[in-house]
Structure 1
Amino acid sequence: MDLAEIPVLSLDADKDNLPTLIGGSFRTFGFAMIRDHGIDQDLISRAWALTKQFFALPVETKMRYFNAGQGGARGYTPFRTEVAKGATEKDLKEFWHVGRDLPEGSPLAATMPPNVWPEEIEGFRETFSELYAQFDKTGAKILSAIAIDLGLDAQWFDPAIEDGNSVMRLLHYPPVGEGAGGAIRAGAHEDINLITLLLGAEEAGLELLGKNGEWLSIAPPEGAMVINIGDMLQRLTNHVLPSTTHRVRNPSGDRAAHSRYSMPFFLHLRSDFPFVTLPECISADNPDRYPVSITADDYLQERLREIGLKA
């Protein structure tokens, strides 16, 4: 399989040219890679260790943190629950969600439930609360570069993501056994949110669908973060920035006996953010595809139903 030739950009060294560089990568691939992203490596290492501890717990213990009515918003979602939009086989994965802790009395509380934390894993809450905050900060920097590339003010996204419904997902893909049938670790899909920041893609399997219809492997160097456009940013930019189809294929040979872990941060808008197509992204050649405005939460709920997380 061919490798996607995605440039590896530096949040530090490429700071002055980042808007142009990241915009070019997104327009070409829908993906970018970032090193020097500012998230503390010791914190990341602790997070991996705690992630593995949690998923090693007995199923009955993990199920104590599953709330069937929340659409996977917080806590645990069991193995083979989520299904890619339009797919028939459920994904070979289980996951845990950490969301934003809202200030007391927030009007957004109805759309963003409080976090739950596993009592069995010492330091889990402290580690992932801090990691969430660092993801949040890095995501805002990347959005600032995207805003400049689109011809917007550098701070354009700040109010749009303030108290946003962002979710950090701890993902475990167990070893692939004989009974997988036609299922794969993550079926071909596009992300729902604005942008996704992904740690842990070093283990092979992540692939994007190229413009020629061929699957391309994504292989970030160690310590680099993979970033991709989600459907919300595609909608906002009238498809100027495309949301690219991607998947996690099953491993072959010896690797099939190994678990795969990854940690995406799905950066979301505020729940009450109204979608209005950016005027900078409308032209005679690219007329407004979305003249009817809906809120970010309306959009999210519709998509959660499509992927089997909500009835």
Structure 2
Amino acid sequence: MPQASLEQVPLLSLAAMAKQDFAAAIGNSFQQFGFAMVKDHGMDAALIDEGWALARAFFALPEEKKRRYDAKANGGQRGYTAFGREIAKGASENDLKEFWHVGRDLPRGNPLAATMPANVWPSEIPRFQPLFRRLYQEFDRVGGQILSAIAIYLGLPESWFDSAIQDGNSILRLLHYPPVSPDAPGIRAGAHEDINLITLLLGAEEGGLELRDRQGNWLPVVPPPGALAINVGDMLQRLTNHRLPSTSHRVVNPPPDRRGVARYSMPFFLHLRPDFLIEPLPQCVDAAHPRRDPPITAHDYLTERLREIGLIKA
């Protein structure tokens, strides 16, 4: 693949670009690649740095301590998922990663609370809970701005997604890919599409993330330090009748000289509210583009997909 093709995945500035220009640019990038890279997003750099430090501290704990917070009981939605447990849909080998999930805190009595497990927090790291609650709010805020741009691109009111994601079951994942041996075969995370609406990812500057383009080529996604890699998930693909595609992506092993280095990343999986009915937007359906997917609630779709990747047992 010529280098010029790799450079077509744009790096956009959320702060420097006019609202309409940003909306057009990110929509076009999503339509072509399912991905975009965004800098100047306004997330607190000091908060992010502390988040990296606390994530490293947690994953450095002895295995028996981490397993006290095992997420098996809640379908992997809150707490710790051990190394090698998750598998990409349709894959034959489990991923080489461990992770921690932080979810939304809903007040007692909220009608959606039954669809979301309560958060759990590691007592060994006192700063963990307040820090990641704040970072969750930052991802939520920036994600809302990105969705406003997508709404504009789709010809919807700028605030269209506000009610759709209010009290949504979004998840902040802290990911650790341990070092691998210099001659290790395979990949760290198998090719997959994300379940949610959009994903906002920090940490992709440590190489390995690749997307599959429309011709079947794998392209590296390596944003500059601090920038976000953002991709379309299956829920947005269904909502737009595949106008904005959910693109397969994977994490490959790094070059041999980097295989002794652990990889850490923070994806924020931005979800619709559980009772939202996902059905194609009218402007995305016509004679040339008939409806491709039946309606389904966000909660039912999430449950279906969690079974497919092994986090909920059928």
State TM-score, norm by structure 2. 0.96
Amino acid in the other structure paired with 2:89: K
Question: Any gaps of 5 or more consecutive residues in structure 2?
Answer: none
In 1, Cα distance between equivalents of 2:124 and 2:278: 41
Residue type matched to 1:278 in 2? L
**Counterpart position of 2:208:** 205
Which residue of structure 2 lines up, in the alignment, with residue 296 of structure 1?
298
Q: 1:216 aligns with which of 201, 216, 219?
A: 219
**Contact persistence 2:87–2:310 (CA under 8 A):** yes
Instruction: Report the alpha carbon displacement of residue 172 of structure 1 after superposing the two structures with TM.
Output: 0.1
* Residue 109 (structure 2) aligns with: 105
The yes-or-no answer on 1:31 pairing with 2:35 is yes
Match of 2:181 among 171, 177, 182: 177
- Residue 225 in 1 paired to residue 228 in 2? yes
Give 2:9's aligned residue.
Answer: 6
Deviations 1:268-292 (A, max 9, x none): 00011111210010011101112x3
Question: Where does the alignment leave 5 or more consecutive residues of structure 1 unmatched?
Answer: none
Counterpart amino acid of 2:253?
Answer: N
Amino acid at match of 1:25: S
Secondary structure of 1:64's aligned partner: helix
Deviation at 1:15, TM superposition (A): 3.2
How far the C-alpha of 1:47 sits from its partner, in A, is: 0.2
- 1:122 deviation in Å? 2.5
Q: CA deviation at 1:235?
A: 0.3
1:42 CA drift (Å): 0.3
Contact 1:165 1:268 in 2 (8 A): yes
Q: What residue in structure 2 maps to residue 238 of structure 1?
A: 241
2:18 to 12, 15, 18: 15
- Is the contact between residue 4 and residue 216 of structure 1 (CA under 8 Å) also seen in structure 2? no
Measured at CA, do residues 212 and 4 of structure 1 come closer, stay the same or move farther in structure 2, by a change above 3 Å? farther
Query: SS at 1:38's partner residue?
Result: coil
Displacement of 1:38 in angstroms is 1.2
SS of 1:110 mapped into structure 2? helix
Distance apart, 1:310 and its partner CA: 0.8
CA apart distance, 1:181:
5.5
TM-score normalized by structure 1? 0.97
Measure, in 1, the Cα distance between the counterparts of 2:183 and 2:125: 31
Of the three residues 76, 81, 84, the one matched with 2:85 is 81
Deviation at 1:212, TM superposition (A): 1.1
**Deviation, structure 1 residue 208:** 0.3
Q: 1:122 aligned to 2:90?
A: no
CA-CA distance at 1:194 after TM superposition:
0.2
**What does residue 100 of structure 2 align with?**
96
In structure 2, the partner of 1:283 is 286
CA spacing shift, 1:231–1:256, aligned 2, 3 Å: same
**One-letter code aligned to 1:32:** A
Letter in 2 for 1:305: R
Deviation at 1:178, TM superposition (A): 7.5
CA distance in 2, matches of 1:10, 1:77: 34
Q: Is the CA contact (8 Å cut-off) linking 1:4 and 1:217 kept in structure 2? A: no
**Residue aligned with 2:299, SS:** helix
Q: What's the CA shift string for 1:61-105, capped at 9, x where partnerless?
A: 000000312111000000001100000100000000000000120
Counterpart of 1:272 (choices 275, 281, 290) is 275
What letter corresponds to residue 60 of structure 1 in structure 2? E
Alignment equivalent of 1:305, drawn from 287, 304, 307: 307
Moved over 2 A (4+): 1-5, 177-182
